[in-house]
Amino acid sequence: MAEILGEPGRASGVPRHARWVRISHWIGTVSILTLAFSGFVILMAHPRLYWGDAGNDLTPALLELPISRNYEHRGWDQATPFFQDAASPVTANRTYDIFNQNGWGRSLHLLAAWCLVLPGVVYVLAGIFGGHFRSHIWPKANELTPRLVWRDVVDHLRFRIPPARCGPHYALLQKCAYSLVVFVAAPLMVVTGLAMSPAITAAFPLLLRLFGGFQSARTIHFFTFIALLLFVFVHVVMVIKSGFRRQIRAMTVGE
C-alpha cells in the first residue's frame, strides 16, 4: 500500500498522496468552482436572504446583498391587500422585466452537483473503508490538547508555515479544517440544497423542519458557501506559502 509505505527510492521515505485522493481532489476542484460560479448566477436573480419558509420582495429581508444591478430596477405597482384587516398580506405587480436569463445557471448548478456528489460518495466510502480518514484526516485524540492547538494557531498567525511535506501527513489545524469541510460543510451544502427542492421536500418533509423552512435552508446554504470560500482562500494561500510547485506536483503526478 503505497500511501503508507511510500515509494521505494524516495529519499525521505515520506508517504505521497494516493492516486484516488489526487483524482478526487481535482474532480472536487472543478465541480466546486462550477458550483460557486453557477450558484452566484442563481443568487444574482434575487440577492435577498430570509429566515423561515417564505420571503419575497414584498416581505422584509434578513440581508440584502449588493451584487446585482439588474435586480435594482425595482419598480412595483401599488400594493393591494388580500384581506380586510390592516395587517393583511399584499400583492403587487412587478413593473419591469427582470431580464432574467439564468435558466442555464440552475441547470449547470445541478449538473455540477451530480459531478461532485456521485464521486463524493465514492470518496467518502473509500476514505472510511480504506482508512484514509482515520489515519490522515481525522485529528487524533492526543493531538487535540489545548496546548498543541494553541501552538498551531500561533504558528499560523505568525505565518510560520513549515515547508510542504507533499503527502498526507497533515498538521493539526489542517486536519481540523479538512475534517470540517468533509464531515460538516460539504454534507450541509448537500442537505440544504436538497431542502430547496419542492419534489424532494414533498417526499422528505423532515428536511424543511430541520432547517426551519425553505428560506432558512437557502440562507444556511449561502453562509456555508461563504465558509467554504474562506477555506479555499486559506487553502490556496497555504499551498503557495509552503511551496507551490512542489505541492502542485504532489497533488497531480504524486511526487
Binding site for another protein (CB under 8 A): 1, 20, 42-43, 45-46, 48, 53-59, 76-77, 79, 82-83, 89-94, 98, 100-104, 106-108, 110-111, 114, 118-119, 121-122, 125-126, 129-130, 196-203, 205, 208, 214-215, 218
Cβ 69 to another protein, closest distance in Å? 16
Q: Whose Cβ is closer to another protein: residue 174's or residue 197's? A: 197
Q: Which of 247, 253, 255 is nearest to 162 (CA)?
A: 247
Q: Which long-range contacts (CB under 8 A, 24 or more apart) does 39-48 make?
A: 39/109, 39/225, 40/67, 41/102, 41/105, 41/108, 42/102, 42/105, 42/106, 42/109, 43/67, 43/222, 44/68, 44/70, 44/71, 44/102, 45/71, 45/98, 45/100, 45/102, 45/105, 46/71, 47/71
Nearer residue to another protein within complex by CB, 1 or 226: 1
The nearer residue to another protein, 90 or 234, going by C-beta atoms, is 90
Residue (57 or 255) nearer to another protein, CB = 57
Nearer to another protein, 35 or 171 (CB): 35
- Which residues, other chains included, contact 111 with Cβ-Cβ below 8 Å and sequence gap of 6+? none
How far apart CA 130 and CA 136 sit, in angstroms, is: 11
- Smallest distance, Å, CB 197 to another protein? 5
Smallest distance, another protein to C-beta of residue 134, A? 15
Cα–Cα distance measured from residue 124 to residue 113, given in angstroms and rounded to the nearest whole number: 16
Residue among 26 and 244 whose Cβ is closer to another protein: 26
R_g of the chain, CA atoms, integer Å: 23
Report, in Å, the least distance between residue 160 CB and another protein. Answer: 37
| Min separation Cβ 121 and another protein, Å | 7
Pairwise CA distance, residues 219 & 214, whole Å: 9
Minimum distance, C-beta of residue 188 to another protein, in the bound complex (Å): 18
